[in-house]
Amino acid sequence: MLKITIGQYYPVQSPIHRLDARMKLLCTIIFITVLFFIGNFLGYAFAAVFLAGMIKLSKVPPKYLIRGLRAIIFIIFFTAFLNIFFTAGGDVIFSWGPIQITQQGLVNALRMAVRLVMLIIGSSMLTLTTTPIQLTEAIEFGLSPFKKIGVPAHEIAMMLTIALRFIPTLMEEMDKIMKAQMARGADFDTGGLFKKAKSLVPLLVPLFISSFRRADELALAMEARCYRGDVGRTRMKQMKMRFSDYQALAVMGLFFATILGIERLAGLWGVW
């Protein structure tokens, strides 16, 4: 069965799970930013070790994370592919007619692939260890400075949460409809591209209908509970930064500094 693990919460107890969602969001943003600072493989190696440590600490099975990557493996390959063929400069390793593969191209492709993989694992660490509700509050908090200039922070955060919340529901629904159509002899796996696309109709029509029905029901349920958006809304659970959150921030700071140091050294030594 198809499984999308990106954006899903993984329910275990760990120090990472217990961190304040706002701090986790901040740390994730720092991590992603740092990834773009790294220019050499020593830095990537260090970032990978750091990320592995975080995964270990979060108690999310690595297998689970890798399965999440499968869904986007195409994007990674595509990016790498573009980089291989369309990077100019460096020594030509292979050429065939107009196609040239340069050393620079290979290095770039590898760098892009590693960066993407870490980017995705890093950001799934946030969603895997944070419940959707906490995540919304963190996003809303992060966006709140922009409320002044008319950004509907609360609504954006709510939309994001609803989207995340409904991924598993829709997957389940799709699985159910798929099975129901398979029980009627539908075949989703064989045939050419056109036949395959056509075979999706019995799947997509019911799925759309049920999504609209769900949206309708959800809107009604929210209204029945007097949901009016941001104004005057209070929270049952207030978020609170604790000492461990500042420790996490310090760890991220150290990580940033180390990466910068490695960059400097690599520059001096001429490592690529």
Partner 1 sequence: MSIQIVNVDYTYSRGTAFEKKALNNVSLTIEKGEFVGLIGHTGSGKSTLIQHLNVLMRPDSGSIIIDGEDIGADKSRLKAIRSKVGLVFQYPEHQLFEMTVYKDVAFGPANAGLDADEVNKRVLDALAIVGIPEELHQKSPFELSGGQKRRVAIAGILAMGPEILVLDEPTAGLDPRGRDEILNQIKIMHEKLKLTVILVSHSMEDIARLADRIFVINHGEIVMSGTPAEIFVQTDALESLGLSSTQSTYVARRLRAAGFDVPEDIYTVDAAVSAILKVLM
Name the site residues for partner 1 (rule: CB under 8 A): 10-12, 61, 63-64, 176-177, 179-187, 201-202, 205-206, 209-210
CB of 132 to partner 1, least distance (A): 16
CB of 173 to partner 1, least distance (A): 8
Separation of alpha carbons 112 and 270, rounded Å: 20
Distances (CA, A) of 154 to 35, 165, 212: 29, 16, 23
Judged by beta carbon, residue 13 or residue 238, the one nearer partner 1 is 13
Question: Do residues 255 and 26 touch, judged by C-beta distance below 8 A?
Answer: no
Separation of alpha carbons 69 and 76, rounded Å: 9
Judged by beta carbon, residue 220 or residue 241, the one nearer partner 1 is 220
Judged by beta carbon, residue 93 or residue 209, the one nearer partner 1 is 209
CB of 160 to partner 1, least distance (A): 23
Question: Do residues 166 and 215 touch, judged by C-beta distance below 8 A?
Answer: no
Q: Which are the contacts of 104, defined by CB distance < 8 A and separation ≥ 6?
A: 87, 88, 89, 90
- Torsion angle, alpha carbons of 70, 71, 77, 79, to 10: -140
Judged by beta carbon, residue 61 or residue 229, the one nearer partner 1 is 61
Question: Do residues 124 and 65 touch, judged by C-beta distance below 8 A?
Answer: yes
Judged by beta carbon, residue 1 or residue 149, the one nearer partner 1 is 1
Judged by beta carbon, residue 150 or residue 185, the one nearer partner 1 is 185
CB of 15 to partner 1, least distance (A): 17
CB of 125 to partner 1, least distance (A): 15
Per-residue DSSP letters for 187-239? -SSSS-HHHHHHHTHHHHHHHHHHHHHHHHHHHHHHHHTT--SSTT---SS--
The length of the chain, given as a count of residues: 272
CB of 65 to partner 1, least distance (A): 11
